[in-house]
Structure 1
């Protein structure tokens, strides 16, 4: 679980901005909303991000994802650029900097990273070894050998292997993704956790892949069907079936001399499609996935997402989670997640202001705002619980009237262009 994340010089985040997942003293639904990886360390299981369009909400989610990807994913070639380097436009010659504190299996980790478009300039990983005190796992400066902490008890060959195989555009841990190095157990455990438990932004977009996973894992299918049924979609089953190209279309493709053989092969390749079985009181019928409503398609994907959240210790991020969902269904989904999960984290951006009025589920320390300064075009982060709004006052009303910022400044509804056209 993430405890704190900071980023500087990434997309619209010019100056260092920090988002905290540490809970305040608020006692609201502490059992459902808070997990303690260690006694006294109270971390929120859900973070909600608000802001106007183009304020930086998506950039924040991308920043979190980019850090994990750089930690875990190596590049094949030494001259390959770090594509995740996306600095603020006015400081694009300066490096991007990250800092994160997170917990894995009761161990605390603290990681710092500085990089530009070609190289890792600095990185440092600390962790809690026996006794719970932060110890240095490794530290690395550009052009210098990696220094490993004494608590790892690494042999000379292990240190040599890392220094030889960690290229200048690799992070230390990402080297394990391409090389079979005999690394210390704590490094392997951390690598495996990032690989299996940290998910990319808006994961599970491929509906056919979800259906394939459901076919091979009855638990996934059972959970998806249960959620679809609770959502009152009248869906009792779904299957991945072969899609047969009509004979006349197949013949036209084969007889088209303007198409290359490679294109014909791709077009005629056997395909699959998802078919949902609907049941009413008197009959059954099938509908293909593409003919279902956009809300049904979205909820199918979110049901798969809930399976990961329910398993525990997963980190998942969604941009505009509420897309195509009825508000009551969105609330039901979030409540189901909070009651079903133990130590997963869901981080999502939304435009749905009504959530701000759900005091029974959305605490003020869970709500973060992103605002872009007009004079500088840089994004800033701040938390609702730090804004001094009295607990008896509506957070929704405060946001609507502009007390919390992070809203579009739209101005008059009259268009000057209309005046110009009338005069001419």
Structure 2
């Protein structure tokens, strides 16, 4: 499970900002917390903020880190640019400095602190610290690049000399030690790598969810027990869906394409022996006579239903496996009460017995409810005057130097919309005049 994530000099983040999933001393909803070796952990965190405040950039940073860890050893070659590295551009001194990412997680009782700094051209530093259950924190390796000389300093602890030599020799300047070590099946690194690969999932629901829906459809087709849970979830969501069916079918390649182009597409789709297949989804409704009527999920169902189907698969699997689910714009096209139910699934210890987590960005202020979320589960992304994002939870927020944190009895939604916590738009005269009536008066004059 995720304990914390830190990011620096990435997109709208200039100084280091941290999202912590460790529960504070707040006594609200204590029964929803997850117990771990590092203490009580939050199962849910919601990120709020104005448009362009940086809340999506935070989730993008997590995604960029995951993709680089998973792909650097197997899908990148010498000389390839490192994808996703985007420095804070409003400070000239930071434009050529590396982006920095650090994560702390607990995997099956073992605590890991792992991070790296990189530009598009090279990894500048990388480190890993490990604490076994009941033990002390030990640094397993560190690499540091001298940009002036191009020399890399290496430090390892607890590895065989031959493994150290192989890692130094085979880790490219644009690749990660963690990724290379996992490719070499070094057991000291496998747990953390597999957490990135199999237990950290990220999705953007603001985009059409075709790829995500295809993944959910495939799992619904292959796993009968999963299909039963999907059907129950769709029925209980009050979408008037009585059942769901998934078939396997080859994807359609337009007939009007030249034969050579069609053959090239088929070759790409079937490379590495992967089957050329899709999984069209049919939902079943009941007409006024009580007869079943089939609908195409993609062609007949609403955007909200399509997005709910798409995200329902990862939600069910995360709850079953204890994965960490990161979702941008969770509420997109869905009713607020339905979004609330998704959040409640992660807050219910009876449903979330494996320590799954949901981290999401949203504009849905109905979730800013003290009956649902604790103060340390509500995070604000706010823009400073220099354009950089500041990240803080309501529990840590202070209205002024002498003020206390928001009271747990106050209306979080109302005070947020009033701008008391930050993270809301600061309008200029054109919009302010609409509120005060000065605009109409100026027009009449």
Task: Indicate the TM-score class for this superposition, using the shorter chain for normalisation.
Answer: 0.7 to 0.9
| 3-state SS, counterpart of residue 201 of structure 1 | strand
Alpha carbons of 1:273 and 1:312: their partners in 2 closer, same or farther (altered >3 Å)?
closer
Using the TM superposition, give the Cα deviation of residue 137 of structure 1 relative to its aligned residue in structure 2, in angstroms.
1.2
**1:398 and 2:415 are equivalent in the alignment:** yes
Match of 2:53 among 52, 55, 62: 55
Cα distance in 1, alignment partners of residues 375 and 170 from structure 2: 46
Alignment-derived partner of residue 276 in structure 1: 283
**1:193 and 2:205 are equivalent in the alignment:** no
Using the TM superposition, give the Cα deviation of residue 148 of structure 1 relative to its aligned residue in structure 2, in angstroms.
1.6
TM-score (norm 1): 0.87
Cα distance in 1, alignment partners of residues 390 and 316 from structure 2: 33
2:315/2:325 contact within 8 Å kept: no
How well do the aligned residues superpose, as a CA RMSD in angstroms? 3.0
- The CA deviation string for residues 8-30 of structure 1, in whole angstroms up to 9 with x for no partner, is 10000111111211111222322
Alignment-derived partner of residue 36 in structure 1: 35
Alignment-derived partner of residue 347 in structure 1: 359
Alpha carbons of 1:264 and 1:106: their partners in 2 closer, same or farther (altered >3 Å)?
closer
| 3-state SS, counterpart of residue 36 of structure 1 | strand
TM-score (norm 2): 0.83
| 3-state SS, counterpart of residue 304 of structure 2 | helix
Match of 2:324 among 308, 312, 315: 315
Cα distance in 1, alignment partners of residues 155 and 317 from structure 2: 36
1:277/1:286 contact within 8 Å kept: yes
- The CA deviation string for residues 363-414 of structure 1, in whole angstroms up to 9 with x for no partner, is 11100000112x3111111111123222222112211211111001224435
Cα distance in 1, alignment partners of residues 409 and 243 from structure 2: 46
Alpha carbons of 1:243 and 1:288: their partners in 2 closer, same or farther (altered >3 Å)?
farther
2:130/2:139 contact within 8 Å kept: yes
Match of 1:291 among 293, 300, 304: 300
Cα distance in 1, alignment partners of residues 4 and 250 from structure 2: 51
Alpha carbons of 1:347 and 1:390: their partners in 2 closer, same or farther (altered >3 Å)?
same
1:11/1:87 contact within 8 Å kept: yes
Using the TM superposition, give the Cα deviation of residue 336 of structure 1 relative to its aligned residue in structure 2, in angstroms.
2.3
Cα distance in 2, alignment partners of residues 392 and 46 from structure 1: 20
Match of 1:146 among 138, 141, 154: 154
Alignment-derived partner of residue 223 in structure 1: 229
- The CA deviation string for residues 307-342 of structure 1, in whole angstroms up to 9 with x for no partner, is 122123311111110111112212222212322113
1:309/1:337 contact within 8 Å kept: no
Alignment-derived partner of residue 376 in structure 1: 386
Alignment-derived partner of residue 214 in structure 2: 208
1:109/1:125 contact within 8 Å kept: yes
